[in-house]
Amino acid sequence: MRYNVFRHAAYDTPWWAIASPRDGRFNSAGQDTVQYLSLHPLGPAAEMLRHHVGPTGDPDSVILNLWAALVDLDEVVAVDFDDCAAYGLTADELVGDNYAPTQALAAAVRAVGFTAMIVPSAALPGTHNLILFGVCLLHPYLWQPLAPEEIPTGHITDGGRPAAEVATHVRWFGSAHPAPGEVIFAADARIDSGFVAEPFHNLFGVGDGPEDFFGGRFYVDDGLVGSAHIFTPDLRIRWRILPA
């Protein structure tokens, strides 16, 4: 399967070829070579704001060097809030500030031969990260890789700034992660009864049933990039944004 991923890196490559000297969520300092990638284009901005600015800082102080890459994987371990207990973690530990439980999870996944894992983002709730284990090398974005470690990669921004609205959606260190069932991004919604209904779970307790929302299409403007994100234990809905 092919994954479109995003990462910030202030170097001439976003990829680690050696073990990081610092502890991370899924790596121990100096021991593991791990690549942290966002599956949402706003993920890297949220990570930078969370780690380097904080809730009282100035988002404009962040210099964002954004990269995009195409990652092809045959097998990926997905660990989410609804099944993390099977891996010995609570939901809080899966996105917690204490990295010991998630480092142990990464070690267990690597021990059985997997090279990648998808997990919830700790910085931007409602989105996910792709974690790659091992060395990766930059390869031109449109070229076919010649070796497994070569990843088609493109440099998107150099000295850019995060979108201002991202800061209001960042989960800061020390704050709780939204629980399943909560709306992740604040949104204003409108109903247009002139369109055909789209089936979905009746999250708001209105209409005649889970397949009916006043016979209209539900539009959400979340102030971000073209889709709203509503998280439930069994369903994530992404809605296209249309002009009001």
Express each pLDDT in 45-59 by its tens digit.
999 999 999 999 999
Q: Which domain holds residue 60?
A: 2-169
User: Domain count of the chain?
Assistant: 2
**Same domain (yes/no): 165, 227:** no
Q: Does any domain span residue 176?
A: no
Among 137, 169, 201, the domain-final residue is: 169
Q: What is the pLDDT of residue 196?
A: 37
**Same domain (yes/no): 130, 221:** no
**Same domain (yes/no): 67, 163:** yes
**Same domain (yes/no): 32, 148:** yes
pLDDT tens for 108-141 read 999 999 999 999 999 999 999 999 999 999 999 9
The Cα–Cα gap between 226 and 150 comes to: 31
pLDDT tens for 213-224 read 333 333 344 444
Q: What is the pLDDT of residue 103?
A: 97
**Same domain (yes/no): 104, 40:** yes
Q: Does any domain span residue 38?
A: yes
Q: Does any domain span residue 88?
A: yes
Q: What is the pLDDT of residue 183?
A: 52
Residue 17 has a CB neighbour count (10 Å cut-off) of 12
Q: Does any domain span residue 174?
A: no
35 backbone dihedrals φ, ψ, rounded to 5°: -105, 130
Q: Does any domain span residue 177?
A: no
Among 169, 204, 232, the domain-final residue is: 169
pLDDT tens for 88-99 read 999 999 999 999
Q: Does any domain span residue 46?
A: yes
**Same domain (yes/no): 158, 211:** no
The Cα–Cα gap between 63 and 163 comes to: 11
Q: What is the pLDDT of residue 190?
A: 35
115 to 103, 149, 217: CA distances (angstroms):
14, 11, 41
Q: Does any domain span residue 182?
A: no
**Same domain (yes/no): 110, 203:** no
The Cα–Cα gap between 145 and 140 comes to: 8
**Same domain (yes/no): 58, 92:** yes
Q: What is the pLDDT of residue 163?
A: 83
Q: Does any domain span residue 175?
A: no
Q: Which stretches of the chain score pLDDT less than 50?
A: 186-244
Q: In what order do the strands lie in the sheet with 116-120?
A: 77-78, 116-120, 128-133, 34-38, 2-8, 66-72, 150-155, 137-140
**Same domain (yes/no): 160, 227:** no
**Same domain (yes/no): 165, 192:** no
Q: What is the pLDDT of residue 188?
A: 39
**Same domain (yes/no): 156, 235:** no
Among 115, 139, 169, the domain-final residue is: 169
**Same domain (yes/no): 157, 201:** no
Nearest to 52 by CA among 167, 158, 169, 160: 167
